[in-house]
Amino acid sequence: MSAVALCAGLSGLKIRLPNGGAVSSLHHSLMRTAFLSLLALSTAALAADPLPAFTDPASAGPDFAVQGEYTGEGCAAQVIALGDGKFHIVGWTPGLPGAGVEAEKKVELDAQRDGGRVVFKSEDWQGEIADGAINGTNRDGKTWQLRRIERQSPTLGAKPPAGAVVLFDGTNADAWKDGKLTPEGWLERGVKSVREFGSGTLHVEFRTPFMPTARGQARGNSGVYLQDRFECQVLDSFGLSGENNEAGGIYTVSKPKLNMCFPPLAWQTYDIEFDVAQFGPDGAKTKDAMMSVKLNGVLVQDRVSVGSATRAAGRKEGPELGPIQLQNHGNPVVYRNIWFVPKP
């Protein structure tokens, strides 16, 4: 039961004295004071944000400058911020996921801030992160260094081709029901396109907030829905295993071939090819919807059959056209450069 529900329950209590007499005015006063105090506490608890979300790198704190991707000779690492000066490191060889040769996860270990540096130590590795570099030593005494980099999707800023329907170019939000712009000129989540679509290709750019103390589905969550039915998940799943409810996943249906999620506050891209489900004259479905998805320019879903509308979809599967939905899941995810190319 929530605190608000508890307070509401208390307000309806009837108290009788042991002798069956009426409750005194003092008792009424005490009960009223207790009720109002609990109500105030519950309101304050609801107003408080236990999971801070940073949308500006300049105010994101020192841990933001440490988290990210690092590369070196024949190896790479992803450093995930966990809040309060704590980090998790995922080591790869020969490079980062999607950087060319297939990456293999080699090591995972935790790190902790110690003054101006972040230190880590395990049975096989030890070292520190400072000044944009990871310097480490393995159990054989071999030293190595990785430098922090910032990757960019090859389709970032892609121009809409001929025949594209431009849904958002930063000038206004007129193409979206209840569309709102941020002060920076980006599109806020929680909108559906005015126009409805069938088969085609969608390009959309998104940015998740930096939420180091959040975990799982509470960390930079949103979603891109085709026809308001079929969701490609948006989530800060940087450095995670890559599941069907993480970035690159067709929600609850298919996990990505690899986790191509960039760190939070980096602009990322979805390029989604979509074929509608087919229905016969009697309304019976004859063919499932089909989706191919590129996350940050890398194919993570290859012609995946989607047998029904994904969980939490805005409408049931059917032959009608449907809008693009950018889901509001309570986190300040933003969007830009959105266009759709309908299939002839």
Q: Please check whether residue 154 lies inside any domain of the structure.
A: no
Tell me whether residue 259 is in a domain. Answer: yes
Average pLDDT taken over every residue of the chain: 89
**Residue 254: inside a domain, yes or no?**
yes
Query: Does pLDDT of 46 surpass 80?
Result: no
- Residue 102's pLDDT band (cuts 50, 70, 90): confident
What is the average pLDDT across 156-173? 98
Let me know if residue 158 belongs to a domain: no
**248/233 Cα distance (integer angstroms):** 6
270 contact partners, CB below 8 Å, separation of at least 6: 202, 203, 204, 205, 206, 224, 232, 293, 294, 295
Whether residue 125 is found in the same domain as residue 174:
no
Backbone angles phi, psi at 147, to 5 degrees: -105, 145
131 and 76 fall within a common domain: yes
Higher pLDDT, 148 or 100: 148
Over the stretch 134-143, which tens digit does the pLDDT of each residue have?
Answer: 999 999 999 9
| Band (190; pLDDT cuts 50, 70, 90) | very high
Residue 7 has pLDDT above 90, yes or no: no
Question: What's the mean pLDDT in 7-22?
Answer: 41
Q: Is the pLDDT confidence value at 272 over 90?
A: yes
| 228 and 332 together in one domain | yes
pLDDT the model gives residue 33:
52
Question: 205 in a domain, yes or no?
Answer: yes
pLDDT at residue 50 in the model: 59
Residue 9 pLDDT level (bands cut at 50, 70, 90): very low
Q: What is the mean pLDDT of residues 321-334?
A: 97
114, 94 contact by CB (below 8 A): no
CATH number at residue 131: 2.40.128
Choice between 220 and 42, residue whose per-residue pLDDT is larger:
220
Q: Of 246, 264, 249, which Cα lies nearest the Cα of 206?
A: 264
> What is the reported pTM?
0.85
Task: Name every residue whose Cβ is closer than 8 Å to that of residue 226 and which is 6 or more positions away in sequence.
Answer: 197, 202, 232, 272, 274, 289, 291, 322, 324
Q: Which helix (H) or strand (E) holds 133?
A: strand 133-138
Q: Which of 296, 270, 302 is closest to 97 using CA atoms? A: 296
Domain boundary among 117, 149, 181: 149
- Given a cut of 80, whether residue 44 has pLDDT beyond it is no
Number of domains in the chain: 3
Tell me which residue range forms the domain holding 40: 3-47
pLDDT value of position 100? 83
Q: Do 169 and 243 have their domain in common?
A: yes
User: Nearest 10 degrees: CA dihedral of 113, 116, 117, 118?
Assistant: 10
